[in-house]
Amino acid sequence: MDTLTIAQLKSKAGETPLEAAVAVQLQSRSTRTTRGGKPYLELAFADATGSFSLKVWGDRPQFGDASQLAEHACLQLNGTWTQGQYGIDSPGWEFKMLAESDRETFLAGDAQTAAVQKHDWETINGLLASLGDPRLASLCRSFIGEFGPRFRRTAAARKNHHARRGGLVEHVAQMMRSTDAICQVYPSLNRDLLLAAVLFHDCGKLWENTYLGNGFSQSYTLHGELLGHIPIGLEIVNKLWRDMFTTSACGAWLTLLPNSEDVRLHLLHLVASHHGQYEYGSPTLPRTPEAWALHCIDNLDAKLEMMKDAYAHSQQLAEGIYERHFPLPTNLVAPLQSFVPDSAPSPQDAAENPLPGMLC
């Protein structure tokens, strides 16, 4: 029996049953009842690559053992898996506790994800080192210095995109690469401001979507529940800014242009408006070129990540057509492959196989 990560299981499982084992950490457990009044458990599992949930019906042999599982227990699930409209399932799955040596290996995360996030962390720090505005550069260094470890274990969301330990690092790094490229196409954009805003736009998620220090369970905090990541992000930027201006270095910044108060306000505006619409949680709408750029870059990276997940996990309705994957609004069609120069037909082949007529 192959041992897979959650991402691999989601990628490989389909309508045809797949026998496999998967190491997971218990993320949450809730006791529920069917319409007929029979109890069952809803178990949520996670690893370094993703998450999924399973039900344990009250008449199953493991119902009692599953009811006694310790919080954040590390398990091996064995079963014959399928994946359909309602996600991953196995009619006869079983579990056992991971041995201590296997638990340590599991909690270290899979090597591929660790390598991606290490490279992305280096990208973030490299692009921040290129900031020319000393105020924004100092602010970003303060944030990384104080919150770096927490940042590196935070997800970009609880579901939908980059919803995994370290997912925020992946999201921010890709947004910074896009920002660096876009600023070369639109040189009038304030690159320093935009890169700093990418770092801070989701910094409130360190209290909304962070992970435990040693595990793959996202924790909940009163700050995250009562405020949400945008108000928290505004508070973090303001606090770090105030603390920064108590240092001796700030004396040299008093005559810089644009003035420091304008820099602070524009950075706060980008954090506040990055969702782009009131109904999506932004307390204000984008009102500057940088604010619109940040909103579009954020939305682009989130949507492309959702599409990547959809292609990997959705069932094909027909050749090259994939069923709708929430929260995307429609079925997906396989993307057109890039042109390969060596694939051009010879003149003789072209003459023998003319182009098909237009559909009209």
Enumerate residues 6+ apart whose C-beta is below 8 A from 278: 285
**Residue 336 is encoded by which pair of tokens?**
């057109």
Write out 19-30 in H/E/C secondary structure.
Answer: EEEEEEEEEEEE
In this predicted model, what pLDDT tens digit does every residue of 308-354 receive, in sequence order? 988 887 888 999 999 898 888 999 999 999 998 887 666 666 666 66
CATH architecture of the region 2-106: Beta Barrel (2.40)
- The DSSP annotation for 184-201 comes to HHSTTS-HHHHHHHHHHT
In the chain, pLDDT over 90 holds for what percent of residues? 55
75 DSSP assignment: E
**N-term to C-term CA, the chain:** 52
As a whole number, mean pLDDT of residues 50-60 equals 87
Number of neighbours of residue 20 by Cβ within 10 angstroms: 19
> pTM for the whole thing?
0.79
Ramachandran class of 85: left when φ > 0, alpha when ψ lies in -120 to 50, beta otherwise:
alpha
Q: Which pLDDT does position 230 carry in this prediction?
A: 96
Q: Which pLDDT does position 350 carry in this prediction?
A: 60
**Residue 167 is encoded by which pair of tokens?**
């997912």
In this predicted model, what pLDDT tens digit does every residue of 102-129 receive, in sequence order? 888 888 788 888 899 999 999 999 999 9
CA-CA-CA-CA torsion for 300, 301, 304, 308, nearest 10 degrees?
A: -170
pLDDT of residue 138 exceeding 70, the answer is yes
What's the whole-number average pLDDT of the chain?
A: 90
Point out the least confidently predicted range of 26-30, 172-176, 271-275, 350-354. 350-354
Enumerate residues 6+ apart whose C-beta is below 8 A from 171: 156, 161, 162, 202, 301, 302, 305
pLDDT of residue 360 exceeding 60, the answer is no
In this predicted model, what pLDDT tens digit does every residue of 228-254 receive, in sequence order? 999 999 999 999 999 999 888 788 898
- Report domain extents, the chain: 2-106, 110-308
